[in-house]
A and B are shown apart, each in its own frame.
Chain A
Amino acid sequence: MRENVVIRTVVRLAVPFIQIFALYVIVHGASGAGGGFQGGVVFASSFILMTIAFDLAYTRRRIGSRGTMICSALGIAIFAGVGILCILYTGNFLEYGVIEAALGIPHLHGYLIDLVEAGIGITVMAVMTSIIYDMANRGGRSA
C-alpha cells in the first residue's frame, strides 16, 4: 500500500485511546453496560486498524500467531479457573458470593466478575485478531 502520512499518524494517535476505551468497557462490565466480549472486540479493532493502516508484518510484531494462541487459551483458562474455584469453595459454578463470604474481603465478587470479564476479553481479542490474520494472510498457511 502507498505510504500515507495522515492515515498512519492518525492511527498511531488513535490506537492507544481505542485500547484504553476497550479496557474501560471490560472493567465497566461488572456494574453497567459493557463487558468482556464488547471490550475484547474493541481491543481487537485496534489491531485490525493497525493491519489496515500499516501491514500484517507490522501488527504481527506487536502480537504474533503465538501470542494470539497463548492469549486465547489464557482467557478461557481464567474464566474456567474462576468458575471451578467457586465450586472448590462449595458454591455453584461462577457463584462468586461464596468466595467473598469465605475470605471475608468486601466487594470481592465484583473483582471476580472483572477477572472473568477480563478473561473473556482476552480470548475474544485474541480470536478476533487471529481471524484477521488468517483472512489477511493470502499465503494459505494455517497458523
Chain B
Amino acid sequence: MTLIDHLPVLLVAGPIVASLLTLVAGWHDRRLCYPITLAAVLGEFAAAIVIFRQVMDGGTVRYYVGGWAPPMGIELVIDTFGGFILATIMLLALMTALYAFRSVKKEVPAEKTVSFYVIFQILLAGLIGMTITGDVFNLYVFLEISSIAAYTLISATRKPHSYVASYNYLVLGSIAAGFILLGIGNLYVATGTLNMAELAVMLPASYDLATVHAAFLFLIIGFSIKAAFFPLHLWLPDAYTESPSAVTVLIATVMAKVSVYALFRFLFSVFTMAYITESYPVTGVVLLIATIAIVAGAILAIAQDDLKRLLAYSSVSQIGYIMFAIGVANRIALEGGLLHILGHAVMKGCLFMVAGLIIYRTGTAQLSELGGIAREMPLTCAAFALAGASMIGIPPTIGFMSKYYLVLGAFEAGLWPYAAVLLVGSLLAAAYIWRFIEIAYFGGHHDEHHRTGGREGPASMLAPTIGLSLLCLLLGIFVAAPLETIGLAVAQLLGGT
C-alpha cells in the first residue's frame, strides 16, 4: 500500500492535524496561522483531485478505517458522485482560503483570528468527512462537527447581530441534527446496520415498516433544514448576512452543497429510487415545495435592501432548483440538479465574494448606499455581472446549462406547468440581479463627493472572485467535461450503489 491508498483518511485527518498545528503556531505568533491554513487547504485540494482522478479511472475507492471490513468497521467510500462533490467543495474551499486573508483581517477581531483559522480547518474536516463517509452514523458525527464549527464561525465578527444569527442557526441546526439522529436510529432498529451499502441491500425487505417511513421523513426534514429548503430556511438569511464575508462564502457554497449532497445520498443510495417513487411516494410533494421555493425565494430576494441578504434569499430559491431535480427524479433532471450543485456553488461563491469586497471597501452592503459603485470597482462589478448572468441562466454560462437540463427533464416527465415555473424563477432572478446592476452602473450620480477615487479591493480577494466568475463562463462553454462525470454519477445513483 502506498500513500495514495491512504488519501481518504488523510483527507479527514489532515485538516484536524492542521487545525492543531494552527493552534500551536498561533499561540507562538498569530501571523503564522494563515500560511499553515492555506498550505493545508492546498494539500487537501490536491488530495481531493488525486482521489477524484482515481475514482474516474478505477471506479469507487473504499477505505476501511482500522482495517475492519464494513459491517463491523467504518468505511470511507468515494464513488463518482462523492468524488465530484469532493472536488467541487475543495475548489471552493481553496478559493475561500485565498479570499479569506484580507477579509478576515478586516472583519474578524485580532484576538479571534487564531481560533478562526483553527475552526475553519475543523469545519473543512467535518464537511470532507460527510462527503466521503460510507457509514450513516459517521455522517451524523461529521455533520455535528461541521455544524458546531459553523455556529462558531458565524459569530466571529465585531457585530453583535452575528451572535443572534449564530444562536438561531444553533437552535434550528440542533433540531435538524436531532431529526437526523432519530432517523438514523430508526434505520438501525429496522436493519441492524449503519453501513450505507449494506442498508441499501437490507432496507427493501422492510420497505413497508412504519419505522422505515418515520426514519425517511425524519431524515428528509433534518437535511432540508440543514440545506435551507423552503420553508425550513429561516436560519439562513441572518446567518449568511451577519457572518464575516469569508465565512459567508464558505457556508453558502461548501456547507450548503454538502447538506444537499447528504440528502441525495440518503434518498438515492440508502433508500432507492423505487422507495421514493413507489413505496413512499414523496417526489410529488418535493416537486411542489421546490417550485414554491424557487418563486418565493426569488420574490423575497427582490424585496431586500441589503446585498448579502438579497443573495441569501437567492440561495433559498436556487436550493429549490436542486430539489426540483429530486422531485422530477428522472435521469436528465438529476443531471441538471447535480450540475446546478456545481454551478450554484461557483456562481454564488463569486457573488458573495463581490459582496464581501464591497463591504471591505465601503463598509456597507446597503443597496441604497452603493449607487455608482461600478465606477470605483469596475472589475468587481463586472465579476458580479458575469456570475449574475449565470444565476439568471443566460447562455453560454453554467447556470444556463443546468437550468436547461432541468427544463428538459421536466418536459420528459411531462410536467409542463412545472417547467414554466422554472422559467418564471429565471425571470425573477433577472429582477433581483438587475437591481444591483442598475444601482451599481447607473445609480447615484449625486453622492460622488464622499468617495475618494476608484479603488478595487485587494488583489488577493479580487483574484478568486474574478477566477470564479470566469469559471461560470468556462464551465458553461466546456460543459461536456463536468457532464461526463455527472452522467456516471447519476447512473450510479439511479442504479443504487
Task: List, in ascending order, chain A residues with CB within 8 A of B200's CB.
Answer: none
Q: CA separation between A92 and B10, bound complex, in Å?
A: 11
**Contact (Cβ within 8 A) A77 B67:** no
- Indicate if B421 sits at the interface (CB-CB under 8 A): no
Task: List, in ascending order, chain A residues with CB within 8 A of B24's CB.
Answer: 73
- Identify which of B20, B63, B64, B112 contacts A76 (C-beta below 8 A): B20
**Contact (Cβ within 8 A) A73 B23:** yes
- Indicate if B420 sits at the interface (CB-CB under 8 A): no
Q: CA separation between A27 and B72, bound complex, in Å?
A: 22
Q: CA separation between A91 and B67, bound complex, in Å?
A: 7
Task: List, in ascending order, chain A residues with CB within 8 A of B112's CB.
Answer: 142
- Indicate if A52 sits at the interface (CB-CB under 8 A): no
Tell me the chain A residues, 34-55 only, with Cβ under 8 Å from chain B.
none
Task: List, in ascending order, chain A residues with CB within 8 A of B111's CB.
Answer: 142
**Contact (Cβ within 8 A) B6 A80:** no
Q: CA separation between A31 and B27, bound complex, in Å?
A: 37
Given contacts A77-B20, A90-B1, contact A83 B67 (CB under 8 A): no
- The proximity string for B residues 370-396 relative to A, scoring 1 for CB distances below 8 Å and 0 otherwise, is 000000000000000000000000000
Q: A81's closest neighbor in chain B, by CB?
A: B17
- Indicate if A132 sits at the interface (CB-CB under 8 A): no
Task: List, in ascending order, chain B residues with CB within 8 A of A23's CB.
Answer: none
**Contact (Cβ within 8 A) B67 A73:** no
**Contact (Cβ within 8 A) A92 B65:** yes
Tell me the chain A residues, 88-109 only, with Cβ under 8 Å from chain B.
90-98
**Contact (Cβ within 8 A) A95 B67:** yes
- Indicate if A84 sits at the interface (CB-CB under 8 A): yes
**Contact (Cβ within 8 A) B67 A87:** no
- Indicate if B292 sits at the interface (CB-CB under 8 A): no
**Contact (Cβ within 8 A) B65 A94:** yes
Q: CA separation between A21 and B196, bound complex, in Å?
A: 38
Q: CA separation between A94 and B63, bound complex, in Å?
A: 12
Task: List, in ascending order, chain B residues with CB within 8 A of A90's CB.
Answer: 1
Q: CA separation between A80 and B23, bound complex, in Å?
A: 15
Task: List, in ascending order, chain A residues with CB within 8 A of B17's CB.
Answer: 76-77, 80
Given contacts A87-B6, A93-B6, A93-B9, contact A80 B67 (CB under 8 A): no
- Indicate if B66 sits at the interface (CB-CB under 8 A): yes
**Contact (Cβ within 8 A) A92 B9:** yes
Q: B5's closest neighbor in chain A, by CB?
A: A92
**Contact (Cβ within 8 A) A80 B65:** no
Task: List, in ascending order, chain A residues with CB within 8 A of B115's CB.
Answer: 142
> How many A residues are at the interface, by size bracket?
10 to 19
**Contact (Cβ within 8 A) B64 A92:** yes
**Contact (Cβ within 8 A) B66 A94:** yes
Q: CA separation between A117 and B368, bound complex, in Å?
A: 57
**Contact (Cβ within 8 A) B13 A69:** no
Distance in Å: Cβ of A47 to nearest Cβ of chain B:
20
- Identify which of B27, B63, B64 contacts A69 (C-beta below 8 A): B27
- Indicate if B16 sits at the interface (CB-CB under 8 A): yes
Q: A91's closest neighbor in chain B, by CB?
A: B67
**Contact (Cβ within 8 A) A83 B13:** yes
Q: CA separation between A77 and B63, bound complex, in Å?
A: 22
- The proximity string for B residues 53-78 relative to A, scoring 1 for CB distances below 8 Å and 0 otherwise, is 00000000001111100000000000
Distance in Å: Cβ of A23 to nearest Cβ of chain B:
24
Given contacts A76-B16, A92-B9, A142-B111, contact A69 B23 (CB under 8 A): yes
- Identify which of B20, B23, B27, B66 contacts A93 (C-beta below 8 A): B66
Q: CA separation between A77 and B405, bound complex, in Å?
A: 48
Q: CA separation between A42 and B3, bound complex, in Å?
A: 38
Task: List, in ascending order, chain B residues with CB within 8 A of A76's CB.
Answer: 16-17, 20
Q: B8's closest neighbor in chain A, by CB?
A: A93
Tell me the chain B residues, 103-141 only, with Cβ under 8 Å from chain A.
111-112, 115
- Identify which of A92, A96, A97, A142 contacts B6 (C-beta below 8 A): A92
Tell me the chain B residues, 6-31 only, with Cβ under 8 Å from chain A.
6, 9, 13, 16-17, 20, 23-24, 27
Q: CA separation between A76 and B17, bound complex, in Å?
A: 8
Distance in Å: Cβ of A96 to nearest Cβ of chain B:
8
Task: List, in ascending order, chain A residues with CB within 8 A of B63's CB.
Answer: 92-93
Q: CA separation between A95 and B5, bound complex, in Å?
A: 14
Q: CA separation between A49 and B428, bound complex, in Å?
A: 59
Q: Which of A83, A84, A91, A93 has the largest number of chain B CB atoms within 10 A?
A: A93
Distance in Å: Cβ of B104 to nearest Cβ of chain A:
16
Distance in Å: Cβ of B401 to nearest Cβ of chain A:
39
Given contacts A69-B23, A142-B111, contact A92 B16 (CB under 8 A): no
Distance in Å: Cβ of A62 to nearest Cβ of chain B:
20
Q: CA separation between A80 and B67, bound complex, in Å?
A: 16
Q: B14's closest neighbor in chain A, by CB?
A: A80
Q: CA separation between A109 and B128, bound complex, in Å?
A: 28
Distance in Å: Cβ of B237 to nearest Cβ of chain A:
27
Q: CA separation between A94 and B6, bound complex, in Å?
A: 11
**Contact (Cβ within 8 A) A84 B27:** no
Task: List, in ascending order, chain A residues with CB within 8 A of B9's CB.
Answer: 83, 87, 92-93
Distance in Å: Cβ of B172 to nearest Cβ of chain A:
22
Q: A87's closest neighbor in chain B, by CB?
A: B6
**Contact (Cβ within 8 A) A95 B13:** no
- Identify which of B1, B13, B64 contacts A80 (C-beta below 8 A): B13
Q: B65's closest neighbor in chain A, by CB?
A: A93
Task: List, in ascending order, chain A residues with CB within 8 A of B23's CB.
Answer: 69, 72-73
Further pairs besides A73-B23, A80-B20, A92-B63: 9, Cβ < 8 Å:
A73-B24, A80-B16, A87-B3, A87-B9, A91-B67, A92-B67, A93-B65, A96-B66, A97-B67
Q: Can you give 23 contacting A-B residue pairs, CB < 8 Å? A: A69-B23, A72-B23, A73-B20, A73-B23, A76-B20, A77-B17, A77-B20, A80-B13, A80-B20, A84-B13, A87-B6, A87-B9, A90-B1, A92-B9, A92-B67, A93-B6, A93-B66, A94-B65, A94-B66, A95-B66, A96-B66, A98-B67, A142-B115
